[in-house]
Structure 1
Amino acid sequence: MTDTSASPQFVHWWESGVIYQIYPRSFQDSDGDGIGDLAGIERRLDYLATLGIDAIWLSPIFPSPMADFGYDVADYCGIDPLFGTLGAFDRLLTSAHERGLKVLLDFVPNHSSDQHAWFRDSRSSRDSAKRDWYIWRDPAADGGPPNNWISDFGGSAWTFDEATGQYYLHAFLKEQPDLNWRNPEMRAAMYNVLRFWLDRGVDGFRIDVLWHIAKAEGLPDNPVNPDYRPEMGEKLKLRQLHSTNQPEVHELAAEFRSLADSYGDRLLVGEIVLPVADMMEYYGRDRPGVHLPFNFQLVEAPWNAGFLRNMFAEYEAALPPGGWPNWVIASHDYPRIAARLGEAQARIAAMLLLTLRGTPTLYQGDEIGIGNVIIPPDRVHDPKELREPGIGLGRDPSRTPIAWDDSPHGGFSAAEPWLPLHMDWRTRNVAVQQTDPNSMLSLYRALLQLRRSEPALSIGSILLSEGSKHILAYQRSHGTSRLQILLNLSGTERCLPDGLGSGDLILSTLGSRPPDGWLRPDEGLILRLGT
């Protein structure tokens, strides 16, 4: 067995809490335009409160041309009319707080929209006071881009501006020019953005592509990736050695943390898609970094008990002193759980996510088991799919609307939704599952209620058991309370290893039954062990 550090003496709200990601375009439409909005989210707050989560994270809601659906920000201190107004946001925030729910916003510091006033000024002249707020360079000797960097969406990461005769850098779309975090005036302006929202009462931020925001001095070429395969996407032709994860980013993360901490118990979640050793650096070096470097390991991990057991042990062992773990298994950028694992194992994944040590982040719609959604070619919106079609990188299937009931358009909107609903929405919706004790939604509610009532699950230590090839087993403990979690990652009945089947049944993913030393196909159990 592998043990971990004991529970912390002091618990922040986000350590014992559960975060729920909302993709605002697809949660609830209130005005009949087929696109979700803030008033729609406010309408569904009671659903979220009774679900049992503690905080909502909103994907970008700021003014934007929507080239990348809000991640191209044209005004960091406003609300896009598609979603409402600042007044609507304030009402949502107040209503959420009244229900005990925290609100996190998506902060996008690596780049703005090319329609942002800052970039329009920067682009107007080489002599612009904001020219250095972005990353401009002269052409290479052959007139081409300044270096070989590739955009994460494919193609060169540089676009030539005819009017001023220089290239500007964009790690993503050309409509998303990268900000220059080496410029102190730009940094100060972005810190004022954080203060603007913190002053309004938001409870923290998820920081988009944090590992991208600092670039190597001199912008040298990136090396060729010797392991590249076409299905990986064009960006991985090169190793992003100089364009991401630079030492200077940790100074910036520490400054974000200092600012957030000055407002009290606020949370910073940093998007970090890096190997574990590099990810751990974002907790902070000589001073604190972000509270939670987002841990995406479960998103693409092989669904194998032995692999997962080793992954959990290595992650726990790598945590720095005081570092709090976190887990996510799906998001707006990755396949839904049921699409990847199938509905039966999606129930196992729910129990896993909500019983591991650390802060879990749920993604909207997973609680009703939305699976893969086929997007007809004429309804594709995702720029990643449009630029590199046919290799499976499109994100639209993970961004489709929730079905709330079996009324027209699933109760999401009075109009045709901007993306199609899942095919089985008439039977797979919140209203149907709320009344079915064996539904996916009922399982999530039971798990969340148990997590809230059992400190062993919310803040306890974890002890990984040897289990078997197909069974993942671990204990969660706090004080005198000990819980055993047993997960069958196969579709075949499995005999439990000696010593793992004793205890009183608290919850099964397949309904109540007496423990008998076996796990049914696709079953997860939580047992209470004797003291």
Structure 2
Amino acid sequence: MNKEWWKNAVIYQVYPKSFFDTNDDGIGDLKGIDSKLDYLKELGVDALWISPCYLSPQIDNGYDIADYRKIDPMFGDNSDLEKLMQDAHSKNIKIIMDMVANHTSDKSVWFEESRKSKDNYFSDFYIWRDPKEDGSEPNNWGSNFGGSAWTYDSNRKQYYLHYYGKQQPDLNWENPKVRQAIYDVMRYWKAHGVDGWRMDVITSISKNQDFPNNPNPHNLQYVVGNQNNGPRMHEFIHEMNQEVFKPFSMMSVGEAPDSKSKDARLLVEPDREELNMVFTFEHMHVDRKPGDVNGRWAIQPVDIVQLKKTLSNWQNTLDGHGWNALYFENHDRARTPSRWGNDTKYRYESATAFATVLHGLKGTPFVYQGEEIGMTNPHFELEDYEDIELKTNYDKLVKQEKTINDVDFLKAARKISRDNARTPMQWDDSKNAGFTKGKPWFKLNPNYKELNVSNDLRSDKSVFKYYQELIKLRHEEPILKDGTFELLLPDDKNIFMYTRTLDDKQWLVIANLSSETQKVETLNKYVDFKTVITNYDGKNGEILGPYEARILKK
């Protein structure tokens, strides 16, 4: 078995709740994923990353886990997951599960026991602190969902820490029993067939034990070293590697919200034995106004120069020192054609242009469900959104602090809200897009009649078929895995252009990431190159149409 199989792989993320419903309760389920394995095999992906399907109150769509060892009945049961893994393995598709190791649900038996007293087995499974003399919070740390990161528990007469919702108390990783409890859960699922792990907000597990105040109270952005990338982070992740990843040859990709490329290099350097890859957030902030008090809700037009600079920096910093995880979309990120492209006039072109840029880079590409057909943001009204992050931030920023108005908040939500990626998968033009015969748990994107898998597969401009070709190239062309990277035209505001070179071979990847035709004189140097793939007519001139993308080779 190739222990580094993920280096030559493309991984597909499934958000089970919205993928496919087989029992008509309006919620996607594990049997639904199983029934679509042939579709995923046809696309060409090598592994499925399945977002949390454990028992959960669903305060944060499953990222609040009540029982790590039990599948939530809304998705099926443990035997359904075991069958899914067996069926996927029979098609040479691996299964990666989501592990939320930073926090649990407040309905977890661990937390229910912990809040009972200060002297039971679970008492120190969470982070409890006494109030200040005036009864106030232990410090001014903020929750990522808005407001304080502390909630008072009247039973223990102490505050507990939560980086997300108050129903998501943070685990105390300083306690060795907590760490072993998490490792035991991971071993349990390995015994049932899981091939790897996506580690949710893994760089948050270590907290500064002095609990110093942050410069800004209840800031939406964590302070690195206090709330993220804490003093024992590397120690804890290395221990997890030694206890779980290494002995069982399990792939690992960690979510690293505040990590820059230099931080990531420490996390993924093979000799350090921590993680195989990390998800950076840095390149997803290129449409955010820097330093604005409204955080991610302060949006601006996408800065292509900054996008190139950030992605190139990660390519160069990790070169020879680790491996990149490549993505533009996931369950927390909006649809790329709507966010950065043109989802009306040039939906096919912008979907495939950004895909070309991403899949040409060095690293492992991740495809989020619906991305492979160019799904778009739904353009909802505020009352249609359900996400806890959006609701709590709306209360904080619009109603309480009044730092942003309703109109601008809605404009931002339509661009970047997590709910944009969580509308049900659009399979065909039948009722509810073929997702369910029941009442969908979440409103569908109204454009499903036109934009769906069935129509896309028949279209002359099929996003699915373009992704198929990109994935095939990843499997067949060593230059995409092993070639060096060099960015060209770094200051061009519209053109993303770079080379990949391996021995005497060179490929040129170029995309016009704008709705205007662009003249690129540099292309004259590559007139002898042949087209590998393009989303246009294949003409190899210096003029690029709106969102035109090409990969050329000499």
Counterpart of 1:3 in structure 2 is none
Correspondences of 1:162-177 after superposition (within 5 Å): 162-177=154-169
* Shift in alpha-carbon separation, 1:205–1:285, aligned structure 2, 3 A: closer
Unpaired runs of 5+ residues, structure 2, are: 288-301, 395-405
Task: Indicate conservation of the 8 Å contact 1:283/1:290, yes or no.
Answer: yes
Task: Indicate conservation of the 8 Å contact 2:270/2:276, yes or no.
Answer: no
Question: 1:23 offset after TM fit, Å?
Answer: 0.8
Percentage of identical aligned residues: 37
Counterpart of 2:12 in structure 1 is 20
SS at match of 2:49: strand
CA distance in 1, matches of 2:204, 2:381: 33
CA distance in 1, matches of 2:35, 2:469: 23
CA distance in 1, matches of 2:476, 2:309: 29
SS at match of 1:507: strand
Task: Indicate conservation of the 8 Å contact 2:255/2:278, yes or no.
Answer: yes
CA distance in 2, matches of 1:499, 1:467: 17
SS at match of 1:48: helix
Q: Which runs of 4+ in 1 moved over 6 A?
A: none
Counterpart of 2:534 in structure 1 is 508
Specify the code of the residue in structure 1 equivalent to 2:238: A
With structure 2 as the length reference, what TM-score do the two structures score?
0.88
SS at match of 2:70: coil
Task: Indicate conservation of the 8 Å contact 1:204/1:267, yes or no.
Answer: yes
| Structure 1 residue 88 corresponds to structure 2 residue 83 | no
Question: 1:285 offset after TM fit, Å?
Answer: 9.4
Counterpart of 1:395 in structure 2 is 418
Counterpart of 1:288 in structure 2 is 273
CA distance in 2, matches of 1:138, 1:300: 36
Residue among 453, 458, 461 paired with 2:476: 453
| Structure 1 residue 410 corresponds to structure 2 residue 410 | no
1:467-519 per-residue CA deviation (whole Å, 9 max, x = no partner) reads 77233222223455432212122321423413134311121112x43323332
* Shift in alpha-carbon separation, 1:301–1:405, aligned structure 2, 3 A: same
SS at match of 1:413: coil
Counterpart of 2:337 in structure 1 is 338
Question: 1:242 offset after TM fit, Å?
Answer: 1.3
Residue among 202, 208, 211 paired with 1:216: 208
RMSD over aligned Cα atoms? 2.1
| Structure 1 residue 278 corresponds to structure 2 residue 263 | yes
Counterpart of 2:457 in structure 1 is 434
Question: 1:338 offset after TM fit, Å?
Answer: 1.3
Counterpart of 2:310 in structure 1 is 311
| Structure 1 residue 383 corresponds to structure 2 residue 407 | no
Residue among 217, 220, 223 paired with 1:236: 220
SS at match of 1:77: strand
Task: Indicate conservation of the 8 Å contact 1:15/1:459, yes or no.
Answer: no
* Shift in alpha-carbon separation, 1:350–1:134, aligned structure 2, 3 A: same
Residue among 117, 121, 134 paired with 1:125: 117
Residue among 479, 487, 499 paired with 2:525: 499
Task: Indicate conservation of the 8 Å contact 1:296/1:328, yes or no.
Answer: no
Question: 1:437 offset after TM fit, Å?
Answer: 3.4
Counterpart of 1:360 in structure 2 is 365
CA distance in 1, matches of 2:250, 2:527: 41
Question: 1:380 offset after TM fit, Å?
Answer: 2.7
1:213-260 per-residue CA deviation (whole Å, 9 max, x = no partner) reads 1111122212228xxxxxxxx633773541221120101111122233
Counterpart of 1:230 in structure 2 is none
Specify the code of the residue in structure 2 equivalent to 1:315: W
Task: Indicate conservation of the 8 Å contact 1:358/1:459, yes or no.
Answer: no
* Shift in alpha-carbon separation, 1:397–1:314, aligned structure 2, 3 A: closer
Question: 1:160 offset after TM fit, Å?
Answer: 1.1
Worse-matched range after superposition: 101-110 or 377-386 = 377-386
Task: Indicate conservation of the 8 Å contact 1:123/1:131, yes or no.
Answer: yes
Worse-matched range after superposition: 443-452 or 254-263 = 254-263
SS at match of 1:39: helix
1:33-77 per-residue CA deviation (whole Å, 9 max, x = no partner) reads 111010000011111111111111111000001111111100111
Worse-matched range after superposition: 151-160 or 238-247 = 238-247
Unpaired runs of 5+ residues, structure 1, are: 1-9, 226-233
Task: Indicate conservation of the 8 Å contact 1:436/1:442, yes or no.
Answer: no
Counterpart of 2:179 in structure 1 is 187
Task: Indicate conservation of the 8 Å contact 1:298/1:328, yes or no.
Answer: no
| Structure 1 residue 250 corresponds to structure 2 residue 275 | no
Counterpart of 1:268 in structure 2 is 252
CA distance in 2, matches of 1:381, 1:521: 34
Specify the code of the residue in structure 1 equivalent to 2:338: A
Specify the code of the residue in structure 2 equivalent to 1:153: F
Worse-matched range after superposition: 326-335 or 97-106 = 326-335
Counterpart of 1:369 in structure 2 is 374
CA distance in 2, matches of 1:333, 1:147: 28
* Shift in alpha-carbon separation, 1:11–1:118, aligned structure 2, 3 A: closer
CA distance in 2, matches of 1:372, 1:317: 32
| Structure 1 residue 472 corresponds to structure 2 residue 496 | yes
| Structure 1 residue 51 corresponds to structure 2 residue 35 | no
Question: 1:111 offset after TM fit, Å?
Answer: 0.6
* Shift in alpha-carbon separation, 1:263–1:84, aligned structure 2, 3 A: farther
* Shift in alpha-carbon separation, 1:304–1:388, aligned structure 2, 3 A: closer
1:332-365 per-residue CA deviation (whole Å, 9 max, x = no partner) reads 1121111212223222101111111111111111
Worse-matched range after superposition: 450-459 or 81-90 = 450-459
Task: Indicate conservation of the 8 Å contact 2:309/2:490, yes or no.
Answer: no
CA distance in 1, matches of 2:63, 2:24: 24
Counterpart of 1:525 in structure 2 is 550
Task: Indicate conservation of the 8 Å contact 1:223/1:241, yes or no.
Answer: no
Task: Indicate conservation of the 8 Å contact 2:222/2:228, yes or no.
Answer: no
CA distance in 1, matches of 2:460, 2:190: 40
Counterpart of 1:205 in structure 2 is 197
Task: Indicate conservation of the 8 Å contact 1:207/1:271, yes or no.
Answer: yes
Task: Indicate conservation of the 8 Å contact 1:224/1:237, yes or no.
Answer: no
* Shift in alpha-carbon separation, 1:214–1:284, aligned structure 2, 3 A: farther
Counterpart of 1:5 in structure 2 is none
Task: Indicate conservation of the 8 Å contact 1:224/1:238, yes or no.
Answer: no
Count of aligned positions: 511
Task: Indicate conservation of the 8 Å contact 2:131/2:137, yes or no.
Answer: yes
* Shift in alpha-carbon separation, 1:306–1:381, aligned structure 2, 3 A: closer
